[in-house]
Homo-oligomer: A and B are copies of this chain.
Amino acid sequence: MTRYEPTPDSISYTFGGKPAIARVKPGEPFELRTLDCYGGAVRDVTDLPSEVCTFPYLNPVTGPFHVEGAEPGDTLAVHVLELTPAAPYGFSSTFPHFGALTSTAHTATLQPPLEERVWRYDVDLRNKTVRYAARNSGLVVDLPLAPMLGTAGVAPAGGEVRATLVPDAHGGNMDTPLLGAATTLYLGVNVPGALLAVGDGHARQGDGEACGVAVEIAMDVTLVVDVIKGVPTQWPRLETDAALMSAGVARPLEDAYRIGQVDLVAHVADLLGLDTLDAYQLVSQAGTSAVGNVCDPNYVMVASIAKQYLGGAEAYGGAHARLRRG
């Protein structure tokens, strides 16, 4: 299996605006390593991100990859076959005026920032845990290891180039714990080859990424992609064995909710042959909504419905099931 390392040439700080580092074929799995969101610059709890990192060199993604056959108007299916933390520990931190429970550059106030502090999490791959250790007390808590990709996207529409910190219709920094192994991500293709890139591995993350930073860690990633020809996708969708999902990406948070739910209603109406109101009703009672991030330039909420309620209907011609087999 071809493997891609995150060298200075093969990482990117934007979606769009950079030529592909390689071509990948639908159906052929490939491996890559991602750097953590600090680009590896935080190596100890004394390394304050605002001192060791430099904007805009944050949140590097590995790629982009040109997906053979992907053309504007198609949908790219990205299936995560495997995610393995590639370091013995991850780091989280606060960061001045960044996060959900502080004023920020956008929710601007006159208050000084919270203290900047770093936490190291030891990863135990055997027991599948990460260990929280308080900085100002002796408390340690073992939390389940739950690897995910914070960032996965393609080149945006309309010739735009977006920082990898930004989530939007092209995917990007969605920071949803739902993007783990065995999940398929569907993204609309805007340029030839789609120009897929991924990064920002998290050993785990709480809902909303409240402090703005998950348990950040380098990650070994195995992906396989497919191209659904002639089928557009407006907002990111996800699929697991159990559920179909639509991600809403916007501010305020209710707009992220609305986008995801409206997209899921349309998807369910289409799959089940329901009119809009009947689909609205089914999603209203059977649907769930998971919080992605409430800290990035756009917030993310993921609308979801269990596939058991969809009577065997197949999204995107069964792409998930095919890719799931590797």
Report which A residues bind B (CB closer than 8 A): 13-14, 16-17, 55-56, 92, 94, 100-103, 105-115, 117, 119, 121, 130, 132, 134-137, 139, 141, 143, 157-163, 204-211, 213-215, 248, 250-255, 257-259, 261-263, 265, 272-278, 280-289, 291, 294, 299, 301, 309, 311
Q: Which 6 A-B pairs have the closest CB atoms?
A: A56-B158, A253-B253, A161-B161, A207-B289, A252-B252, A211-B284
Could you say which of B110, B137, B143, B254 contacts A253, with CB atoms under 8 Å apart?
B254
Tell me whether B278 and A137 are in contact (CB under 8 A): yes
Question: Please, which residues of chain B bring their CB within 8 A of the CB of A100?
Answer: 254, 257-258, 261
- Give Cα A277 to B262, complex, Å: 25
Give the oligomeric copy count: 4
Q: A14-B160, A134-B278, A159-B17 are in contact. Are A286 and B141 (CB under 8 A)?
A: yes
Could you say which of B135, B208, B250 contacts A257, with CB atoms under 8 Å apart?
B208
A286 and chain B: residue at smallest CB distance? B143
Kindly name the residue among A113, A160, A163, A205 whose own CB sees the greatest number of chain B CB atoms within 10 A: A160
Q: A159-B14, A159-B56, A265-B110 are in contact. Are A285 and B101 (CB under 8 A)?
A: no
Tell me whether A137 and B274 are in contact (CB under 8 A): yes
Q: A141-B286, A214-B284 are in contact. List 14 more A-B contacts (CB 8 A).
A: A100-B254, A101-B258, A105-B259, A107-B107, A108-B248, A111-B111, A115-B277, A117-B277, A134-B274, A205-B285, A206-B285, A252-B253, A252-B254, A253-B254
Kindly name the residue among A159, A213, A284 whose own CB sees the greatest number of chain B CB atoms within 10 A: A284
Tell me whether B115 and A109 are in contact (CB under 8 A): no
Q: A16-B161, A254-B253, A309-B143 are in contact. Are A207 and B287 (CB under 8 A)?
A: yes
- Give Cα A175 to B94, complex, Å: 33
A209 and chain B: residue at smallest CB distance? B284
Could you list some 29 contacts between A and B, CB below 8 A? Answer: A17-B159, A56-B157, A92-B284, A92-B285, A94-B280, A101-B109, A101-B110, A102-B109, A106-B250, A107-B255, A108-B248, A109-B111, A134-B278, A137-B274, A139-B272, A139-B273, A139-B278, A139-B311, A143-B285, A206-B287, A207-B289, A208-B257, A208-B287, A210-B261, A211-B280, A252-B254, A254-B294, A289-B291, A289-B294
- Give Cα A196 to B202, complex, Å: 39
